[in-house]
Amino acid sequence: MTMQLVERFAGVAATVQVTAGPFQSFTQIAEFQKSVLRLHGVAGASIRNARRGVLVLEVDYDGIVPLHIRLHDLRDVRWTPVQVSEDAVEIAVA
């Protein structure tokens, strides 16, 4: 646990899995991915899976603020948390 904290403060990127949905179209999925990429501390956001309106992103994140908090900076996306951990965030998009 202590090593993880040291790595995080040293700027080592962590991969956080973000599961979000439901989306009604691939356009909405693409817009969400672009919004996540614009967040401070996000170095990459690759689609791991997108099925039945549910998107799974692998997000390379090196911010000090936890990603589930940073997601509040998303513009034009209303969401609520479903489940949050250090390496995975699940949100419901409204």
Q: What is the predicted pLDDT for the residue at 77? A: 87
d(CA 13, CA 26) in angstroms, rounded, equals 28
pTM assigned to the model: 0.83
Q: What is the pLDDT of residues 37-54, one digit of tens each?
A: 999 999 999 999 999 999
With CA atoms as reference, report the closest residue to 18 among 62, 77, 71, 75: 71
Average pLDDT over residues 42-71: 95
User: For 11-15, 33-37, 56-60, which range has the lowest pLDDT when averaged over its residues?
Assistant: 11-15
pLDDT digits (tens, 9 = 90+) for 3-18: 444 444 445 558 999 9
In angstroms, the CA 74 to CA 18 distance is: 13
Average pLDDT, whole number, for the chain? 87
Is 2-93 in CATH node 1.10.8?
Answer: no
